Amino acid sequence: MSKSRLKSFMTDSLELPKEIVTDLSRVSIFSNNEIYIENYKGLIEFETDRAKINTKGKIISLNGKGFEIKNITEDEITLKGEIYKITFE
């Protein structure tokens, strides 16, 4: 059984969230003024009107205004501000 099939089997059998087993990021957006990213890899760029966050396999680019870091740890980040555009690169 391949590694990816084993992870999928474990996720389904044990009813675990896929982001835990597969090391994927979880992105939660609250209205247009807060974004929470779990299991991110790093903050690439941060300005009050734009931010770039590295996740496994994707970079999340945000455009808006008034951005501030509400919370940041090794595994999760929460940004507040008015979000105009989100791009997954």
Kindly report, residue by residue over 32-68, the tens digit of the pLDDT. 999 999 989 999 999 999 999 999 889 999 999 999 9
Give the pLDDT score at 65: 98
> What is the bridge-based pairing of β-strands 26-30 and 34-38?
antiparallel
Q: Give the residue carrying structure tokens 């990213």.
A: 37
Kindly report, residue by residue over 8-28, the tens digit of the pLDDT. 665 566 665 555 555 678 899
Give the pLDDT score at 57: 80
Give the pLDDT score at 56: 83
- Rounded to whole angstroms, the Cα distance separating 49 from 13 reads 43
**∠ Cα 13 40 78 (to 5°):** 110
Residue 31 has pLDDT above 80, yes or no: yes
Q: Any idea which fold 3-88 has?
A: Immunoglobulin-like (2.60.40)
